[in-house]
């Protein structure tokens, strides 16, 4: 695939969040207002739950929330009913999910969430049916920032980590510069999620059942060897993020990593989500989840829950 056009100087600060403040983000300090979320949980209405290969896509109408979340931000979700308390039911705390797509409309904003069923919370959420309540808190956290001047965006996603790259792809494309996108999955069934992207992502699978056989970081390393003057946006399991961080560091390529850690509150109160940066611990829910790779010695955060 041909390299996308370089981001022109005049447009470089107009899309995908606001520009970093002077002095940041090379330190760990947050570079944006922390959250625009109303400080309370509200009920959205499930419109559909659709199977996409090995994943589930939940669409819900949020009638009262902010209508324009920024790519990389997330919501704390819980089912309106049967969310813990019953026999064998564990979740009481909401679970964190990146929004995958947002469509503002007359009656509110339609939000898409792409889920992998890995435990009791995601299992319950994928059981939801149209018309049922989905409790939401968000959008939360600091999302992706615009690429640097004269740098094209290169998106790299692994597994369920492709979710926040969907809205990022769409935002960058609407600014006139469709990004190059590389996606890696375990198998062809997981790789069905690639069909949600508007462009034509470069595809890899661990087992070779779709696309190129191998890890998504292999085409990434090749692309940077050919042209390192890009800005990388990555989300995926901790090992993939760490490989991405390391490959980008070798080439002095800036990278923004959407990371995961166990989150109990989502808005800075519990300190359950802290990750270590070069300048100390940060709370991923309010200082992230997108962190500048240059602030990290390692992206192998202790709380990252997805392994592939």
Ligand X SMILES: Cc1cc2nc3c(=O)[nH]c(=O)nc-3n(C[C@H](O)[C@H](O)[C@H](O)COP(=O)(O)OP(=O)(O)OC[C@H]3O[C@@H](n4cnc5c(N)ncnc54)[C@H](O)[C@@H]3O)c2cc1C
Please report, as residue ranges, which positions from 244 to 303 form the binding site for ligand X (by CB under 6 A). Answer: 260-263, 289, 303
Among 122, 244, 253, 295, binds ligand X (CB under 6 A): 122
Count of residues engaged in binding ligand FES, rule: CB under 6 A:
12
**Which stretch, 41-49, 117-125, 178-186, 210-218, contacts ligand X (CB under 6 A)?**
117-125
In the complex, least distance from residue 288 CB atom to ligand X, rounded to whole angstroms: 7
User: 162: closest CA among 68, 70, 71?
Assistant: 71
In the complex, least distance from residue 186 CB atom to ligand FES, rounded to whole angstroms: 28
Alpha-carbon distance of 163 to 196, in angstroms, equals 10
Cα separations in angstroms, 279 against 29, 125, 232, 275, 300: 9, 37, 22, 11, 16
* Interhelix angle 217-226/238-250, nearest 10 degrees: 10
Q: What are phi and psi of 248, to 5 degrees?
A: -70, -40
Extended strands (E) in 162-269: 180-185, 202-205, 212-213, 230-235, 255-258
The pair of structure tokens assigned to 121 is 């919370």
User: 236: closest CA among 305, 148, 151?
Assistant: 305
H-state helical runs in 73-126 = 120-126
State which residue, 98 or 295, has the beta carbon closest to ligand X.
Answer: 98
Q: Report the residue closest to ligand X, judged by CB.
A: 119
Judged by beta carbon distances under 5 to 8 A according to partner kind, the member of ligand FES, ligand X, none in contact with residue 271 is: ligand FES
Among 17, 69, 91, 139, binds ligand X (CB under 6 A): 91
DSSP H/E element including 203: strand 202-205
State which residue, 141 or 147, has the beta carbon closest to ligand X.
Answer: 141
Among 80, 84, 199, 272, binds ligand FES (CB under 6 A): 272
Judged by beta carbon distances under 5 to 8 A according to partner kind, the member of ligand FES, ligand X, none in contact with residue 114 is: ligand X
- Is 199 a binding residue for ligand FES by CB under 6 A? The answer is no
**Which stretch, 28-36, 159-167, 211-219, 262-270, contacts ligand FES (CB under 6 A)?**
262-270
Residue with tokens 């002077």, as numbered in its chain: 22
Please report, as residue ranges, which positions from 54 to 73 form the binding site for ligand FES (by CB under 6 A). Answer: none
- Is 72 a binding residue for ligand X by CB under 6 A? The answer is no
**Which stretch, 17-25, 60-68, 95-103, 182-190, contacts ligand X (CB under 6 A)?**
95-103
Alpha-carbon distance of 274 to 269, in angstroms, equals 11
């Amino acid at each position: 695939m041909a390299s996308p056009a370089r981001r022109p100087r005049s447009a470089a600060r107009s899309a995908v969040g606001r520009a970093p403040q002077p002095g940041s983000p090379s330190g760990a300090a947050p570079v944006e207002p922390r959250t625009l979320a109303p400080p309370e949980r509200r009920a959205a209405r499930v419109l559909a739950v659709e199977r996409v290969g090995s994943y589930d896509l939940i669409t819900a109408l949020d009638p009262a929330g902010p209508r324009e979340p920024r790519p990389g931000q997330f919501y704390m979700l819980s089912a309106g009913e049967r969310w813990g308390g019953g026999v064998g039911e564990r979740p009481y705390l909401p679970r964190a999910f990146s929004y995958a797509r947002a469509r503002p409309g007359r009656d509110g904003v339609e939000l898409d969430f792409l889920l992998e069923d890995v435990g009791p919370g995601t299992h319950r959420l994928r059981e939801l049916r149209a018309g049922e309540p989905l409790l939401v808190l968000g959008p939360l956290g600091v999302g992706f920032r615009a690429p640097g001047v004269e740098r094209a965006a290169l998106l790299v996603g692994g597994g369920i980590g492709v979710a926040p790259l969907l809205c990022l792809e769409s935002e960058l494309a609407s600014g006139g510069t469709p990004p190059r996108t590389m996606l890696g999955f375990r198998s062809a069934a997981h790789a069905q999620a690639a069909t949600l992207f508007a462009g034509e992502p470069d595809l890899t699978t661990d087992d070779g059942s779709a696309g190129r056989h191998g890890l998504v970081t292999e085409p990434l390393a090749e692309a940077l060897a050919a042209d390192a003057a890009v800005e990388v946006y990555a989300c995926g399991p901790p090992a993939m993020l760490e490989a991405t961080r390391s490959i980008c560091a070798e080439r002095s390529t800036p990278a923004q990593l959407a990371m995961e850690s166990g989150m109990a509150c989502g808005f800075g109160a519990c300190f359950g989500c802290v990750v270590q940066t070069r300048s100390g611990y940060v709370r991923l829910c309010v200082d992230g989840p997108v962190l500048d790779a240059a602030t990290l010695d390692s992206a192998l955060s202790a709380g990252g829950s997805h392994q592939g």
